Amino acid sequence: MDADDLNAFKQAASADLPSLEYSVSQGEKRRYIQPSSLSDPKLQELTTFLVEWINEELKQEHIVVRSLEEDIFDGLVLHHLLQKYTAVRLEVDEIALSTSSQKHKLGVIMEAVSQHLQLPQSQLKWSVDMVLSKDLLATLHLLVAIGKHFQPNLPIPPNVSVEVVTVEPTKHGMKTEKTMEYVTECRQAIDQCKPSQTDSFDELFKLAPDKVNAVKQAIILFVNKHLGNLGIVVSDIDTQFADGVMLLLLIGQLGGYFLNLYDFFLTPCSQAEMLHNARLAVDLLMDGGLLDSPINPEDIVTRDVKTLLRVLYSLFSKYK
C-alpha cells in the first residue's frame, strides 16, 4: 500500500468518528452523535422544532436561540425557561464570563431543573459537564425532557433516533462502540417505528402457535435460574412482568449491577407507576443494545404476549 492509499484509508476510517475536541481521560467514556446522523432529516426537524419552541416561549424576553450547541450551554436560556414555567428565580449571575462561573451557574440551574423533572438518576442522559461542553446529544435529551414535563401536549417530533458513538481510551488505544439511541418517544402506531419485516415471534404465533408454550417454559426456566437467588419464582410470563418490577430485577441481575430502589417503584400502585418501570426497563435494554427493534413500554403494561417474549428473549439470547 503506497502513501496515498494509506492516507486515504486513514481518512476514511476516521470519518466515522467524531472530532475529539475534548480530552477523554483514561477510564472515562464520551458519547457523541455519529456525524452521519447529523444530516438525518428527522434529527434536523427536531432541532428546528426545539429552536422555534424556545424562541416562541422566550420572545417577550427578547432571547433568540439560533444553535442548540452554542446558545444553551451557558445556562441563560435554561434559566429563563425555568422561570417561565415555575416562577422560580435563582440567585445566579445573568451573564457568567469565566468557565468556572459558567459551570457554577449551570450547576445551580440544572439542579433546580432536576428537582422539577423528578427523574431517577439512571434516566438522566445529561450532566452539567456534558451540557457545558456543548454536547448536542445531552442537550437534546435535556430539552426534550423539559418540554415533555412542562408542556405535555407539546408536539415534539416522535421516532427521532441517532447512531451514537461511545469513545473510551484504553491502554491499547481508543475503543469505540456504536449503538442506536432514541431521542424522542417511539410511537409504535407510526409506520416508521414498526419493524420493516415480520420477526420470528410473528412467525411463531402465526405458523406454530402450539409451540408458544414451549418457548415460554424455556424462558421461565432461564428467568428463575437468575432470579432464584432473590427468592423470586416466576410461573406466568403473561402477568408477572406487566408491572416492570420482575423485568428490572432480571436486567440488574444479568447485567451485574444494582438498581437504586429510588429509581423505580418496587410495589407499583397505579398504571402510571407500572409504565414508569416499563419505560426504565426499555431504556436500559436500548442503552445496552439488546433490542433489535423498538419496543413500546405500554405493550408491556397491557400484557402483550409477543412484546413480553421479545423483551425476555433479548435477554435470554445474550445471557443463556
Residue-averaged pLDDT of the chain: 79
Q: According to the model, what pLDDT value does residue 72 have?
A: 92
DSSP code for 168? E
Residue bearing the bigger pLDDT, 315 or 293 = 315
Q: In a 3-state reduction of DSSP, which class is residue 182? A: strand
Most distant pair of Cα atoms in the chain: their distance: 68
Q: According to the model, what pLDDT value does residue 187 have?
A: 59
Q: Is the pLDDT of residue 53 over 80?
A: yes
| Whole-structure pTM value | 0.56
Q: In a 3-state reduction of DSSP, which class is residue 209? A: helix
Mean pLDDT of the region 232-258: 88
Residue bearing the bigger pLDDT, 118 or 95 = 118
Mean pLDDT of the region 28-54: 89
Residue bearing the bigger pLDDT, 244 or 100 = 244
Q: According to the model, what pLDDT value does residue 148 have?
A: 86
Other Cβ atoms within 10 Å of 37 Cβ, number: 20
pLDDT in tens, 10-26: 343 344 444 444 455 66
Cell numbers found for residue 68 = 442548540
- Domains of the chain with bracketed CATH: 19-182 (1.10.418.10), 191-319 (1.10.418.10)
Q: Is the pLDDT of residue 9 over 80?
A: no
Mean pLDDT of the region 84-105: 78
- Rounded-to-integer distance, Cα 179 and Cα 157, Å: 21
pLDDT in tens, 267-300: 888 888 888 888 888 888 887 788 766 788 888 9
Are the C-beta atoms of 193 and 294 separated by less than 8 Å?
yes
Are the C-beta atoms of 162 and 37 separated by less than 8 Å?
yes
Other Cβ atoms within 10 Å of 32 Cβ, number: 21
- Rounded-to-integer distance, Cα 133 and Cα 161, Å: 22
